[in-house]
């Protein structure tokens, strides 16, 4: 597993924890930052995970609006928490991170959805992200 894949998983863990515990993402990020200090061997995944989460925090309103626009008939509240997190990460990468090709962001999110969420999630995530990538 690549360092960026591990970082995306770590970012998902932070977003998911904040979502499920109904706390600000910044609070979940601070808790993970404190834990990261004691895990220097995971530093490479931590740095990109922090970039992702900071990016989602900075652009959350725009990211969420984009997701709801292209997830026709689905509100964020109706989506599984894992799907919300995966979509937020991938949309941030597509819209705000020029270092990651849209196809990579989509592929990573779809693969994670297949492993971590519902049977229908990978198709749903692929469809939404495909429409978003075509529009930007």
Q: What is 3-135's CATH number?
A: 1.10.940.10
Domain ranges of the chain: 3-135
Handedness of CA 81, 85, 90, 92 (dihedral sign): positive
Q: What was the pLDDT predicted at 123?
A: 97
> 33 to each of 30, 58, 68, how far by Cα in Å?
5, 17, 30
Q: What was the pLDDT predicted at 6?
A: 93
Q: What was the pLDDT predicted at 74?
A: 93
What is the pTM for the complete model shown? 0.94
Q: What was the pLDDT predicted at 80?
A: 96
- Residue stretches of the chain with pLDDT short of 50: none
The torsion angle over the Cα atoms of residues 51, 52, 56 and 59, rounded to 10 degrees, is: 60
The torsion angle over the Cα atoms of residues 8, 67, 98 and 54, rounded to 10 degrees, is: -50
Q: Which two tokens stand for residue 115?
A: 């492993």
């Amino acid at each position: 597993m690549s360092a960026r894949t591990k970082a995306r998983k770590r970012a998902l863990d932070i977003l998911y924890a904040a979502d499920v515990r109904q706390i600000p993402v910044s609070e979940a990020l601070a808790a993970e930052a404190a834990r990261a200090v004691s895990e220097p061997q995971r530093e490479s995944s931590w740095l990109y995970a922090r970039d992702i989460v900071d990016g989602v925090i900075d652009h959350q309103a725009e990211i969420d609006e984009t997701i709801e626009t292209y997830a026709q008939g689905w509100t964020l509240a109706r989506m599984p928490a894992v799907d919300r997190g995966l979509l937020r990460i991938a949309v941030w990468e597509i819209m705000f991170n020029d270092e990651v090709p849209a196809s990579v962001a989509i592929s990573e999110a779809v693969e994670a959805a297949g492993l971590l969420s519902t049977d229908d999630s990978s198709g749903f995530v692929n469809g939404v992200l495909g429409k978003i990538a075509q529009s930007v």
